[in-house]
Amino acid sequence: MSEALLKRILEGAVKIEEESYALYVKAQGIAKLPSSKALLSELAEAELTHKEKLLAIMEKSASVYWAGVSELGSETDQIEDLKIVDYMPDVTLSDDADYPTMLIYAGKREKMTYEHYRSLAEGPFARYFPQASELFSKLAEEELIHKNKIEREYTERVLKKN
Ligand SMILES: [Fe+2]
Ligand SMILES: [Fe+2]
């Protein structure tokens, strides 16, 4: 595995984080409750932080990297995958999408991102690039935390209302 491949993978991850950030910024405009807006703002910030960590690795800024990686992930490693969006049909996000649709879209996106990072953290990639693998492992945990938060929001705001 080459440095060029590592670069492509990191660039792809930066793009994923930029798109996730844009999604949560847009979602804040769809949400009505202040508590929902606050949750989405927190998630937008988290995706920006992920992008910064990835850029730090790309720029080989070791001090930023090591300061950053330890802050990421779950303290307990016990993140519950609620699997609420997993079996729902895929949705598209049109400009007039409602809040429940946006939550399903976001939850599925977190699932996809979680799986992508976890495969990078565990596969052959990990043997060649242990430092990047450690970051992807932490990022995977964080995306699963995001999925959990989105699914709890969906339970509160959508499932309990119907
Ligand atoms: Fe992220
Ligand atoms: Fe996320």
pLDDT of residue 1: 66
pLDDT band at 64 (very low <50, low <70, confident <90, very high): low
Interacting residues of 1 by C-beta distance below 8 A, sequence separation 6+: 124, 125, 128, 129
pLDDT band at 62 (very low <50, low <70, confident <90, very high): low
Q: Distance from the CA of 111 to the center of ligand 2, in angstroms?
A: 9
Q: Distance from the CA of 162 to the center of ligand 1, in angstroms?
A: 31
Q: Distance from the CA of 149 to the center of ligand 2, in angstroms?
A: 10
Q: Distance from the CA of 155 to the center of ligand 2, in angstroms?
A: 18
Q: What is the pLDDT of residues 82-103, one digit of tens each?
A: 999 999 999 999 989 999 999 9
Whole-angstrom distance, CA of residue 29 vs CA of residue 31: 6
In this prediction, residues 23-27 reach a mean pLDDT of 97
In this prediction, residues 115-126 reach a mean pLDDT of 91
Q: Distance from the CA of 135 to the center of ligand 1, in angstroms?
A: 11
Residue 49 CA: which ligand is closest? 1
Q: Distance from the CA of 72 to the center of ligand 2, in angstroms?
A: 12
Task: Give the lowest-confidence range in 20-29, 63-72, 92-101.
Answer: 63-72
pLDDT of residue 132: 81
In this prediction, residues 56-79 reach a mean pLDDT of 68
Using the predicted structure, report yes or no on whether residue 39 has a pLDDT greater than 80.
yes
pLDDT of residue 59: 80
pLDDT of residue 66: 57
Is the entire prediction scored with pTM above 0.95?
no
pLDDT of residue 57: 79
Q: Which is more confident, 127 or 100?
A: 100
Ligand 2 ion local residues (Cβ < 5 A): 110, 143, 146
